[in-house]
A and B are shown apart, each in its own frame.
Chain A
């Protein structure tokens, strides 16, 4: 079975450019999470969706960040305009349901470098 698929795996861009990260959750999973990992702050939850609806976006750092989930099989995280401090690894993860206590299935991450 295919796992959580993220693209691109690596992105290098210049400050001010728009960045779009993509995620395809595991089929049948109803909840999707976006995490950011940096050396300084560790793994931070940015936003999560249940049944395509954003439930908690309190972790989104500022208005430059936005996330959408137009359908059950696709989500995007957009940064516009990007800044060097946005450089991080961005993980997408999914689980079968919001109340499920099983493991979170992670994608391989998208490593973003903003110059």
Chain B
């Protein structure tokens, strides 16, 4: 089946630093989604990308849909303590468009 590989697995950064994480796939995805999960909560959608090459921002977050449609990255600028959490990439898998395939997540820790 389709798999998404995220890197790095975890990051420890100082408040104010910029962060970059990425997601790759062996197969083409037509939509890339980035979610954040806080402890004890379900994931929340941050950014959705629908077109190869698309660059989309949401506040301090910027994400890009790779030209090959096999990768995407998420940048967070000027990190703050509330950015702590697990970041997942996801995309529709198989023939059922609503069914999402998730990466294994990047754990972000921000030191004040």
Asked if A and B bind, the verdict is: no
